[in-house]
Chains A and B, each alone.
Chain A
Amino acid sequence: MTEITAELPKPAVVRDVPVDLSKLSRVGARPPFLDYLVQLWDFRQFIYYDARARVQSGTRRDKLGSAWLILNPVFNGMTYFLVFGLLLKTSKGIPNFISYLVIGIFMFQITSGAIVSGARSMQQNKALVQGFSFPRAALPIGVNVRELLANIPLIIAMLLIILVVPPVEPISWRWLLLVPVLALQFIFNLGIGLILARIISRVNDVTHLLPFTLRLLMYMSAVFYSLDRFSNHPTIYWLMQANPMFLIIDITRDAVMYGVTPSWHSWAMLSAWASIALIVGMLFFWKAEESYVRG
């Protein structure tokens, strides 16, 4: 294969073929951004079907099936309770530590699961990408919708634990605030997933860094300790409060556990994170639309 091709004979005639290219479109060409969004909307049935079919088949291999969707974070919560609650006693100063921990872990699990699947969505669906020409962002979006659907039982389990494990927190209208929180979380996850999907489709090595980054994010999000520990360090305190993951967890705790309406400041900050992530993610992903088929 390395042989140098010999000088080719000159063709007899070079004939100009006039073709009206304006009536044709380039195969696999990337449409303008707004057209791209319209195309994605046209493929909404594909996105939804993809998401739903995969929720059903996701845990089919396990004997306990969908129960793992809930058992997983429950075991996770028990582990952290053992280590941080009982051994390291980071629970100091947190009255209802179990609920506090459960909200932190479950909400974090939603984001980490969605980001990891979103990031791998292009790679894991190579056959689909190569077989059909649909707007590629349909895959990361589908994966995020799938995660959202799969997380509904998780949310219910989280609320049940809070209702059952003493000290019991009362139900209030503020529990409805979970809906906007989850919506913003979904948008944020999708944006980050889109960015990572493009990076990983080019540089696979990033998949190895992902678990560490997510672990770091978890430790930075006050999942199993109180933010008050850092009340003497204004910089750390400020940074932690700007962390989108902390915002999601904090707003949920306010609404579900403490019976406090979350401050407008937190909402604004989280909305900003979500919208910036989505806009940057979509643009960044769309820019490379033509390159996902390769490799």
Chain B
Amino acid sequence: MSAADELARLTADPCVVADNVAMKYQVISTEEQTEVPRFGWKILQRFTPRPNTVTVHALNRLSLVVRRGESVGIIGRNGSGKSTLMKLVSGQVRPTGGAIHASSTPIMLGVNAALVPELSGDQNVVLGCLAMGLSRDEIDARFDEIVEVSGLEKSIHLPMKSYSSGMGSRLRFAIAACGNPEILLVDEALNTGDAQFAARSKRRMDELREKAGCVLLVSHSLDTIKDMTGRVVWLDKGDLIMDGNPKDVTKKYMEFTNHLARGNNISAHGLRADVMASLEVANVVNQRGGDRSFTAAG
């Protein structure tokens, strides 16, 4: 990357700023408790329905600045925190630490559960679009296009609970894709669905990507990542490992997964530590518009 490119990148307006975000969950574990509780406690525990809870650190403190015009790919193994990061950015989940700032409401293209199962597909389209803040006129104008993207044809009038999971996710995608979001989040799970829908959704997504201010893309397919993004972030077990241009990051990531596949856990972790040690960590500093004095982010 040349110095001029670098400068252009750094001076563009930020679209998404993750400021020290962290996410941890309290979940119930079926694992036996190791320490044996005292007798009195044991009886008490029988009556309190609180099973063994465990804290899962889905994402450790992480800062990331995505600027307008950037397409960022997110890679990592299962459970590395990719989807968690996407959920945080889309506002589906509130981080337990730090904050996500965005220039407008990010729209996630993913496959979620049905919206309102009792309502028919067309009612869900209207309801979903209204929930995204579109007006009735805009929805009426785009309704046919949405139905076409979903490929549901006549089934659009059936209640959504009668849909197959593929049909549901197609409708969900079509609704999310009908707004023209400035910030677009794409979860790889989109690759579900038949070939016909895959082609149609890819076309729609390309259109959206061209219009969008910035794109965050999660995928396990490194080719997709290299094709579509100009910057890649590698996450592993909730840690940011590497952040750079797609070629370098995917190469290191491939090396890492190859080590793991061959069972060389030690060399894999050595590589992970090495890469991490050369990581440039961003520290978000709130700079007021106009004046040049830096103030610490709150």
A and B associate: yes
A residues adjacent to B (C-beta < 8 A): 1-2, 5, 8-28, 42-43, 45-46, 49-50, 53-54, 57-58, 60, 125, 127-128, 130-134, 290-291, 293-294
Q: Is B230 among interface residues, defined by CB-CB distance under 8 A?
A: no
Enumerate chain B residues within 8 angstroms of A293, measured Cβ to Cβ.
91-94
Q: Out of B13, B31, B101, B281, name the residue touching A14 (CB < 8 Å).
A: B281
The CA of A57 and the CA of B159, in the complex, are separated in Å by 9
Q: Is B193 an interface residue (CB 8 A)?
A: no
Report the Cα distance A125→B118, complex, angstroms. Answer: 11
Q: Bits for B103-139, please: 1 = Cβ < 8 Å to A, else 0.
A: 1011000001111101110010011101111011000
- A-facing mask of B61-96, CB < 8 A → 1, else 0? 001010000000000000000000000111111100
Residue B278 is within 8 A (CB to CB) of chain A in the complex = yes
In the complex, A288→B27 CA distance in Å?
22
Contact of B131 among A1, A16, A128 (CB under 8 A): A128
In the bound complex, do residue B102 and residue A25 qualify as a contact, i.e. CB atoms below 8 Å apart? yes
Contact residues in B for A16 (Cβ distance below 8 Å): 283, 285, 294
Whether the pair B277, A11 counts as a contact (CB closer than 8 A) is yes
CB pair B94–A15 under 8 Å, yes or no, is no
B119 adjacent to A43 (CB under 8 Å): no
Please give the residue numbers on chain B whose beta carbons come within 8 Å of chain A beta carbons, in ascending order.
13-14, 17, 19, 29, 31, 54, 56-57, 60, 63, 65, 88-94, 99-103, 105-106, 112-116, 118-120, 123, 126-128, 130-133, 135-136, 159, 172, 176, 237, 239, 273, 276-289, 294, 297
From A13, A21, A294, give the contact of B17 (CB < 8 A): A21
Cβ-defined partner of B14 (8 Å) among A15, A24, A291, A294:
A24
CB pair A24–B102 under 8 Å, yes or no, is: yes
Partner of A15, one of B113, B114, B281, B286: B281
Q: Given A11-B281, A42-B133, are A20 and B91 neighbors across the interface (CB < 8 Å)?
A: no
Chain B residue with the shortest CB-CB distance to A126: B113
Which residue in B19, B130, B289 is a CB contact (below 8 Å) of A45? B130
Q: Is the CB of B277 within 8 A of A9?
A: yes
**Which residue of chain B has its CB nearest to the CB of A52?**
B123
- Contact B288 A22, beta carbon cutoff 8 Å: yes
Q: Which residue of B lies closest to A130 (CB)?
A: B92
